[in-house]
Amino acid sequence: MKRITLVLIIAGSFMFSALQAQKQEKKEEWIALFNGKDLSGWDIKIAGRELNDNYNETFRVEDGMIRVRYDKYSEFNDLYGHMYYEKPFSYYKLRFDYRFNGEQLKGGATWNNRNSGIMLHSQSAASNNFKQDFPVSIELQLLGGLGKGPRTTANVCTPGTAVELKGKVDYTHCINSASKTYDGDQWVHVEAIVAGDEYMTFIVNGDTVLTFQKPQIDGSFISKQNKGKDWDDMGVTDKQIWISKEGTTLKEGYIALQAESHPVDFKNIELLNLRGCKDPKAKNYKSYFLKADNSACLYK
């Protein structure tokens, strides 16, 4: 009887160890991009200001959040700003929460009311031209409802870029998602699955709302009629460099938070780096699948 009891104890111990190992294997290693205390690890570029000139404390940390604030401004004056995480990424999953607050700053464009975004596959802060309004990037556009009809969020906008939908390049500057409208100052949870230059998928509060393919450089994001003019309108002075790269897909880039005249808060900004998870022993392996050519591990 004692021997049977001992065998059962040993078997139970092995089973417990196996279950614990399985849990460890399935654990996803998310990286916190924001430490909740300060803006360490981020670079700031505001149009018409020098690199890392956080003009009027546009970007600040309060109560464990990154806040975009305009209480020290008298007027917007086209001071479009972006704050860039210090490292570029290629294959990853991003998640965060955002909410809008208060009233839009005087001088902001009508379309920027309750409007912000997170730029993906962006150029670096340092490579922006001095008066450049927006980085060349894929924008995960964040909109708040205006209390009068539908207004989707997690749309895609394309400053200096374009994306493919249904196998064709779509030059529409902003493409709407299928999300609900979020009125008021409520927190909204957003996720982005970014698969290099293959595709991006946006998810809002658990609902998949938009997927597109082949993010690429293109200067026709506003009009196909005047080649090169859109680069000028964006404040890009080295446009010939970008024109020479048009049609090139974006395989990686920086992540940037946007400031464009309406106060907004961000929190819980985390990233799951999928590059290198093709190893069956990797902790992310069980949740993600391998491409046929084994070049990367993508979200399933």
Q: State the Cα torsion 178-180-183-187 to the nearest 10°.
A: -100
Give the separation between CA 13 and CA 17, rounded to whole angstroms: 6
| CATH numbers and ranges of domains, the chain | 29-299 (2.60.120.560)
pLDDT, tens digit only, all 300 positions of the chain: 555 555 445 555 555 555 554 544 457 899 999 999 999 999 999 999 999 999 999 999 999 999 999 999 999 999 999 999 999 999 999 999 999 999 999 999 999 999 999 999 999 999 999 999 999 999 999 999 999 999 999 999 999 999 999 999 999 999 999 999 999 999 999 999 999 999 999 999 999 999 999 999 998 866 555 566 889 999 999 999 999 999 999 999 999 999 999 999 999 999 999 986 644 544 554 454 444 344 445 444
Give this prediction's pTM: 0.86
Alpha helices in the chain (DSSP H): 2-26, 229-233, 239-244
CA 217 to chain centroid: 17
In Å, how far are 45, 52, 53, 85, 227 from 125, measured between CA atoms? 6, 9, 12, 9, 25
